[in-house]
Amino acid sequence: MGNTNSGREQEIMSLLRDNIRNIVPYSTARDDCKVKMDIYLDANENPFDSGVNRYPSPHQPRLKNMLSALKKVPAENIFLGNGSDEPIDLIFRLFCPPGQSSMVQAVPTYGMYSVAAAINDVRVINAPLTSDFELDAADLLSRVEPDTRLIFLCSPNNPSGNLLDIEGIVKILDAFEGITVVDEAYIDFAGSDSVIKLLDRYPRLIVLQTLSKAWGMAGLRIGMAIADRCIVDIMSRVKYPYNISVLNQEKAEEVLSDPLSAADRVEELVRERKKLAEALSGLPDVKEVYPSDANFLLVRFMDKDRAFAELMKSGIIVRDRSSAYGCDGCLRITVGTPEENDRVVAVLGGMPVKSGSPSLAAGRKASIFRKTGETAVCVRLDLDNFRPPRIASGLHFLNHMLEQIGYHAHIALDVVCYGDVDVDDHHSVEDVAIALGDCLYSALGDKAGTGRYGFSLPMDEADASVLLDLGGRIDFQWNVPLSGNCVGDVSAQMFEHFFKSLSEHLKCNLHIKAQGRNDHHIIEGVFKAFARALRQAVSRVPGGNDVPSSKGWL
């Protein structure tokens, strides 16, 4: 705004924390010596070439030049971080004296702003968006306090999906004397201009973008702050020197060199967003699908817990945003591939899912989602097709044991448990066993073609034997003396409880005996022997389709 360069710089300098203003950055000999050398003995690297034996460039010039061309801003206005989460944190560190400042955010919004504020001891002031998630600039400005250093706006907004009104943003930039951050993580899906064009007029504006979304590089962790060069300079001085690895820089350059393919995928996602929104709007359980300029939809359900559970049972995870301001009853659903979106609609519409679905396709497969006040457990299995197990129970030792079941029973087994392990392991162990038992029972169906029985095996100095009869009657016996209170992070007494709960829900006779000197070996032996017994019991008898009982049923 008619500001000279030094005027802009002074303005920004005056906003920085005192200790940051004159910070002396970590320097490298390569920074100090600008010419290319033949031999590099300055950084204590390993000289033998492995492709990654050298430190990466701390300034990422090639990557910045590519982004400069794509974003049409000079490279010196671009800061690159480890995801945009890094510049979010840096902005607090640059501008907010801990314990003496506040930030205002327009809610509901992306959760990292308040996490970064908490880490940096900055007070959070929430300014609500309207019931349609529109920006009310006057209301937001009225909440600014004397110690407010930052305003965070997210456009398109996460989780509501809509672009914020540009006039409101400009009003805030005109009135607020601190730093305004506009997070445009989803701007490429919006088909409208970035606020980057406002940077010339507003030196106190920082625009965040990321390679995680439209560019499909979330795994690389590369985010951008686009801002006045003075802000970019200071951020670069405060960041860790080598914040983006050699491999990540190279891979990002490779993907950025094919912007047309990326643009095609964005177009496809935008088409899919429209299709998905229309299909969801037509479902009886859906109250409202909010208009989206991003790659996700905020959807309000009549019963969001039921919708969430149905999706989870079918192996689909979405984000429950119902606790965010103004989002009660809402799930946030990312736009996936056309097939994934069809499945979401089919599951929520209560229609049979096409074959290929893990939950309903023919064969001995099943999935269970079980939620209580203490845990939410999802188990999926396929008795006829082995695939390496995918286990996340929240307990390391239980993970290891459940993996044994998958491998040694030779079945596909996925278990995810979100449990109250901060209290103790009891509910997670018990509820995983219950869900696993129910799921096995349901996958077995009428048990036609299956055998029954047991297995013993040595496990180093220990030995374990498991007898298993899937006949439908429950009898549980446990003779497994353990000497310690815990095995790994699981209480010793919970193993008996695990198998007891499992036998009750699988409706089986389960007799387990084991002995040894090392508790880990004993329990591992038990899980392996159980898995082997299960493998025998569920294996299809060659040529047999009958039920293995003289009664003709089990």
- Tell me whether residue 56 or residue 451 sits nearer to ligand PMP (CB atom): 56
Q: Does 105 bind ligand PMP (CB under 6 A)?
A: no
Nearest distance, CB of residue 75 and ligand PMP, angstroms = 19
Residues of the chain by 3-state class (helix, strand, coil), percent to 5: 40, 20, 40
- Read off the tokens for 313: 């049972």
Query: For 515, phi and psi rounded to 5 degrees?
Result: -150, 160
DSSP code of residue 25: P
Amino acid at residue number 18: D
Please select the residue that binds ligand PMP; options are 43, 70, 218, 263, rule is CB under 6 A.
Answer: 218
The site string for ligand PMP over 71-90 (x = CB under 6 A, - otherwise) reads ------------xxx-----
Does residue 192 sit in helix, strand or coil? Answer: coil
3-state secondary structure of 72: coil
Three-state SS string across 94-149, please? HHCCCCCCEEEEEECCCCHHHHHHHHCCCEEEEEECCCCCCCCHHHHHHCCCCCEE
Q: How many CA atoms lie within 13 A of 317 on its CB side?
A: 4
Report, in Å, the least distance between residue 128 CB and ligand PMP: 17
E runs forming strands in 155-253: 179-183, 205-210, 222-227
We find the least distance from the C-beta atom of residue 223 to ligand PMP, in angstroms, to be: 3
Stretch that binds ligand PMP, among 94-102, 210-218, 271-279, 489-497 (CB under 6 A): 210-218
Question: Which one, 98 or 111, has the nearer CB to ligand PMP?
Answer: 111
Q: How far is the CB of 110 from ligand PMP (least distance, A)?
A: 4
DSSP string, 512-553: EEEE-S-HHHHHHHHHHHHHHHHHHHHSBPTT--S-SSTTS-
**Nearest approach, Cβ of residue 46 and ligand PMP (Å):** 30
Phi and psi (nearest 5°) for 388? -55, 135
Task: Compute the residue count for the chain.
Answer: 554
Q: How far is the CB of 537 from ligand PMP (least distance, A)?
A: 45
Q: At its nearest, how many Å lie between ligand PMP and the CB of residue 48? A: 34
The least distance separating ligand PMP from the CB of residue 96, rounded to whole angstroms, comes to 18
Exactly one of 105, 194, 210, 404 binds ligand PMP (CB under 6 A); which one?
A: 210
Exactly one of 79, 110, 189, 308 binds ligand PMP (CB under 6 A); that residue is: 110
One of 108, 168, 223, 394 touching ligand PMP (CB under 6 A): 223
- Whole-angstrom distance, CA of residue 216 vs CA of residue 229: 27
β-pairing, 222-227 with 205-210? Answer: antiparallel
**What is the Cα–Cα distance from 20 to 359, expressed in whole angstroms?**
55
CA-nearest of 72, 110, 112, 70 to 88 is 112
Residues of span 178-197 touching ligand PMP by CB under 6 A: 183, 185
* Count of chain residues binding ligand PMP (CB under 6 A): 12
- CA-nearest of 373, 452, 440, 431 to 405 is 440
Q: Would you say 113 or 499 has its CB closer to ligand PMP?
A: 113
Is 180 in contact with 156 (CB distance < 8 Å)? no
Indicate which single residue of 154, 462, 502, 522 sits in contact with ligand PMP (rule: CB under 6 A).
Answer: 154
Nearer to ligand PMP, 156 or 394 (CB): 156
Q: In Å, how far from its chain's centre is CA 480?
A: 39
Choosing from 120, 212, 243, 465, the residue that interacts with ligand PMP (CB under 6 A) is: 212
Taking the C-alpha atoms of residue 263 and residue 245, their distance in angstroms, rounded to an integer, is: 26
Q: Using the minimum distance from each CB to ligand PMP, give the nearer residue, 185 or 335.
A: 185
Nearer to ligand PMP among residue 88 and residue 443 (C-beta): 88
Question: Max Cα separation, the chain?
Answer: 95
User: Which CB, 290 or 397, lies closer to ligand PMP?
Assistant: 290
Return the number of the residue (183 or 431) whose C-beta is nearest ligand PMP. 183
> Minimum Å distance from CB 217 to ligand PMP?
9
Q: Which residue is nearest to ligand PMP (CB)?
A: 83
SS3 call for 421: coil
Which residues between 476 and 535 bind ligand PMP (CB under 6 A)? none
Under the binding rule (CB under 6 A), the answer on residue 158 touching ligand PMP is: yes
Residues 94 and 20: beta-carbon distance below 8 Å:
yes
* Least Cβ distance, residue 87 to ligand PMP (angstroms): 9
Which is nearer to ligand PMP, 189 or 441 (by Cβ)? Answer: 189
Beta strand pairing status for 330-334 and 296-301?
antiparallel
- Phi, psi at residue 534, to the nearest 5°? -65, -40
Judged by beta carbon, residue 203 or residue 223, the one nearer ligand PMP is 223
**C-beta closer to ligand PMP: residue 83 or 394:** 83
Closest approach, Cβ 210 to ligand PMP, in A, equals 3
Residues 274-333 close enough to bind ligand PMP by CB under 6 A: none
Q: Quick one: 10 or 192, whose CB is closer to ligand PMP?
A: 192
Region class of 366: left (phi > 0), else alpha (psi between -120 and 50), else beta: beta
Q: How far is the CB of 288 from ligand PMP (least distance, A)?
A: 21
Binding site for ligand PMP (CB under 6 A): 83-85, 110, 154, 158, 183, 185, 210, 212, 218, 223
